[in-house]
A and B are shown apart, each in its own frame.
Chain A
Amino acid sequence: MFRGRRKISDFSAEIEAHLQLEIDRLQEQGLSAEEARTAARRAFGNVTRAQERFYEQRYWGGWDHLLQDIRFGLRMLRKSPGFSAVAILTLAVGIGANTAIFSVVNSVLLRPLPYPDADRLAIIWSGLGNANRAPASNFEVFQIRQRTKEFDQVGGIWVTNGALPGDGDVEQVKVASVTANFLPLLCPKPELGRFFAPEDEPNAPNAQRPIIISHGVWVRRFGGDPGIIDRVVRFGPRSAVVIGVMPQNFRLIFPGGSSIATNVDVFYSTRIDASDPLGPAYLRLIGRLRPGSNIATAQAEADSIATQITSFDGNSGISNFRLYIYSLQAEDVRDVRGTLLFLFGGVAFVLLIGCANVANLLMARATQRLRETTVRVALGASRARLVSQLLTESLLLAFLGAVVALGIGWAAVRAILAVRPPSLANLGEVHLDLRVLAFTFAVAILTSALFGLAPMITVGRLDLLQSLKEATRPTGWTGRKWNSALVSAEVALGFVLLLGTGLLMRTFVNVLRVDPGFRAENVSTFQLPPPSYEMLRQLQQNLMAFPGVESVSAVSHIPLDDTANWYDYYWKEGTPTELRSTTYADHRSILPGYFGTIGATLLHGRDFTEADDAAHEHVIIIDDLLARELWPDGDAIGKKLNITDSPSGPYQFQRDWAVVVGVVRHIQCHSLTAIVRPQIYVPFQLAPRPMAIVVRTAGTVSGLTNSARKQVALLNKNMPVSRVAPLSDYVARARSESRFASLLAMSLSSVALLLACIGIYGVLSYSVAQRTSEIGIRMAIGAGRSDVMRMVLADGFASVLLGLTVGFLLSLVLTPLVAGLLFGVKPGDPENYAMILVVVLLVSALASFLPARRAMRIDPLMALRHE
């Protein structure tokens, strides 16, 4: 146990007691009171001295020395504000940026998902042909549930747009169809009511549905009514009974590209109808592993289940069916992992550079203060006392740096949140992580302490007389070697970071330059639940009449939007049965004029017309990817493809033969950089579904949105309009990840460059100051000003070149790691190397020039008298 330190008063009391006891004894021996007192005091010796010694013994923990050191340290910091500011800011930027980025990394990559048994949750993708992160069909879910021993639960979800339940304004919200066991997988219990039971699965298509609503809808639409449970409410064209309310903080955290919105407002139960092996695949599956199971064993089991499903019905056309099991957490961060790790590495580099800088500054300063130190040693200061004082000063710097770092870190987290891509937005709140702050703070303190004390090692060996004589010119000191080594390290780290940044920036530029296959400017969009064909045509005509509108059309999937994708397999005539289900294409339902409206290019053939309905021969338009793949000779027009459509109503899928009447240039619809799948366009009359209206205008047209809402209400007052947004928003969002990465990398690199610049400048200035008299002598014996300048520059560039060499070698190992983040540029891109090399050399030249000029201007006479 820790014993509390004695107070000086306690000690004095003890001495007083001692004297009293001695007086008592002496009086017993017959001395008078006065004599006894004198004798006792004499025997005791010097009371004050004893107290002093007691006081000094406690010196290490003594507040007085600490306070004294802090006061002295603060005075020293105030005395050289430039040094203090640079050191504190350097530390603050290093600690602050590091904390901010790590806070993001932590909340995205490391913190477990907010679900019960999150580490046992896995996502189950199915794969068929060229689709390998595909949803599963009812049939497949049924088969997996029947056969699995590794999962104790397998639940599925499908999200689409639907009507907001309850009375009031019609509004379109995200609506999910889930298996009864899905919600309990991700949520311990509802806020109110209950989850679905198997008997909630609908038996008839038009039966009154039980629904579970989000906390948001409950508050917004039903005023937080506690009696909401079992209430019958309007839900689109039908009515539904509310059986539960989800907790307020419930979110669906799914991998990007899985078309599962974070906030779903209505859940209803879906029925697993296992009868049709070729039924639509739409369910995203989440499985909970049994305790003791792991991803690898689950994958092995899934492989065998996939084989069994393939062989289940030889005539079903299912071949090469596969199942992929990934941990939900890993899959959720798959897209952002690379970016975040790059940033994390970058921040570590900045912290290292910052530490190197502070080390340099402290060492330089300690050397300057060698005389002061020497005098103090000569006057009898103990080494321990000097160390404690230097340490206090370093810690003071680190502490002030950390305080400023808090501010910088807070601002940086704000800034990161402001520019974060949607893939990060999924992952909820990001807070400044105090543990990380503590960690980086500790690193900074360690650096400061280490390098603040480095000179002490030499002080111990100092020949006092020699040092006093030499004053500020400690020739034997090895500090300069250390300093140039640190500069080399800074340059090496900065060079590598800049190389990475250069690559990311070029990637971003390439992303900006990508032709997505359409022109997004001046196109407005909004979305509707499945409309009738007549209404759609009427709306098209009515909107056309609005001044400034050039063309109006509709599409089921806006390019680069994340609504639930529609894709299915296709085959051309003469394809053997077992190969029929191996290749997938995205299917889109469109109105005539769609390609013209969004500025896509129809390469061959014709657009759809009003006559392309179910009564006539089914027709499709395909993109050039598909045309080239199937008919490389370029004669796609007039050929037949077996595709999926739904002429009898939304989602009433059937397979049909359709004739290719047009070929359109591929439109990027999942990302700007990756070509995911070819596209098949089906006339709306053959595939009615929820649609997005696209309106091209001449320039910006105000009031279009309101007018569109009015037009829709005029045609059908119950039809909600949702997601009103310009098409360019979708493109901007698709660019946001690359923008995010390059923006952050750029700010990190600027900081690194600035710090390295300060480092080079500081070391050279210091070295010039140190060598003032040497330079004076050189000039006195005939060295020209240019010689002096060359000497200083050579000094600086020696360490820069060494740093560049090390950086180059380092980059050979490190840059390939960012390959996954790049588009249109290779990690080893020579242009990038050349550009960054020039930047580093320019900055180094700038940083070296000022000290070199100062050296050049040294007056030899002054310099010699400088001693």
Chain B
Amino acid sequence: MSTRESKERLELLQGTLDLLILRTLILGAHHGQGIARTIQQTSEDELLVEHGALYPALQRLEERGWISAKWGTSANNRRARFYSLTTAGRKQLVKETTKWKRLATAITRILGAELEET
């Protein structure tokens, strides 16, 4: 069901969506559509976030107590469920970010070395 437009974007790696959601929420409470938009915009439209996939992830994070949710009103006066980061979520974000950075560095190092060989 992918369109041409979406093929050009990067598919999200498994497990990274949670991290991105947490990162987005550090700026303040957001509803699901806002989070999706923010991720897309911040990544300069490089990342493909299937909006539907966002919700199970939000649900999961909520159950783990990393984010909390409550119904509110959006800027254009629509009812929406707003998510915000909990203290536990903040800690988790720091942890995950560090982990991700180490992983990215390591992978970059390996990939870089390989390129030099060829």
Known: A57-B59, A57-B63. A17 touches B81 (CB 8 A): yes
Determine the residue in chain B with the shortest Cβ distance to A47. B52
B7: CB under 8 A from chain A? no
Knowing A22-B33, A24-B78 are in contact, say whether A15-B55 is a contact too (CB < 8 A): yes
Q: Beyond the given A14-B55, A25-B33, A47-B52, please list 8 additional residue pairs across the A-B interface where CB-CB is below 8 A.
A: A17-B31, A17-B33, A21-B33, A21-B76, A42-B1, A50-B53, A50-B56, A53-B56
CA distance A126 to B76 in the complex (A): 94
Contact assessment for A45 and B51 in the assembled complex, using a CB-CB cutoff below 8 Å: yes
- Residue B37 at the A interface, CB < 8 A? yes
Q: Mark A3-22, 1 if CB is under 8 A from B, else 0.
A: 00010000101110110111
Residue interface mask B44-79, A partner, CB < 8 A = 1: 000000111101100110010000000000101011
Residues of B within 8 A of A24 (CB): 76, 78
A848 to chain B, nearest CB (A): 55
A43-B51 contact, Cβ under 8 Å, with A14-B32, A14-B81: yes
Q: Hey, which bits of chain B sit against chain A, CB under 8 A?
A: 1, 3, 31-34, 36-37, 50-53, 55-56, 59-60, 63, 74, 76, 78-81
Q: How far is the CB of A43 from chain B (nearest CB, A)?
A: 5
Give CA–CA (A15, B54) in the complex, Å. Answer: 10
5 contacts between A and B (CB under 8 A): A6-B59, A17-B81, A43-B36, A50-B56, A57-B59
Chain B residues closer than 8 Å to A14, beta-carbon distance: 32, 55, 80-81
Name the prevailing secondary structure of the B interface residues. helix
* Residue from B3, B36, B52 in contact with A49 in the complex, judged by beta carbons closer than 8 Å: B52
A80 at the interface (CB under 8 A from B): no
Please tell me which one of the listed residues A21, A42, A53 contacts residue B31 in the complex, with CB atoms under 8 A apart.
A21
Asked if residues B50 and A45 are in contact (CB atoms below 8 Å), the reply is yes
Q: Mark A751-770, 1 if CB is under 8 A from B, else 0.
A: 00000000000000000000
Ranked 7 nearest A-B pairs via Cβ: A45-B52, A50-B52, A21-B33, A44-B51, A45-B50, A53-B56, A18-B33
Find out whether the CB atom of A17 lies under 8 angstroms from the CB atom of B52.
no
A39 → B minimal CB distance (Å): 10
Between B3, B36, B55, B80, the greatest number of chain A beta carbons within 10 A of the residue's beta carbon is seen for B55
CB of B55, distance to nearest CB on chain A (Å): 5
List residues of chain A with CB under 8 Å of any chain B CB: 6, 11, 13-15, 17-18, 20-22, 24-25, 42-47, 49-50, 53-54, 57
Smallest CB gap from B33: residue in A? A21
Report chain B residues within 8 Å CB of A18: 31-33, 36, 51, 55, 80
How many Å from the CB of B93 to the closest CB on chain A? 21
A45 and B34 form a contact (CB under 8 A): no
* A49–B52 alpha-carbon span in the complex (Å): 8
CA distance A20 to B79 in the complex (A): 9
A835 vs B37: C-alpha distance when bound (angstroms): 86
* B50 A54 Cβ-Cβ under 8 A: no
With A and B bound together, what is the CA distance between A13 and B52 in angstroms? 13
Give CA–CA (A25, B40) in the complex, Å.
14
Contact between B55 and A11 (Cβ–Cβ < 8 Å)? yes
Residues of B within 8 A of A15 (CB): 55
- Chain A nearest Cβ from B103, distance in angstroms: 26
Contact assessment for B55 and A21 in the assembled complex, using a CB-CB cutoff below 8 Å = no
Complex alpha-carbon distance, A20 and B36, angstroms: 14
Q: Kindly list chain B residues whose C-beta atoms are within 8 Å of the C-beta of A20.
A: 78
Is the Cβ of A22 less than 8 Å from the Cβ of B80?
no
Which residue from chain B places its CB closest to the CB of A53 in the assembled complex? B56
**Does A44 lie within 8 Å of B52, measured CB to CB?**
yes
Known: A44-B50, A45-B50, A57-B63. A50 touches B55 (CB 8 A): yes
- A18 and B50 CA atoms in complex are apart in Å by 12
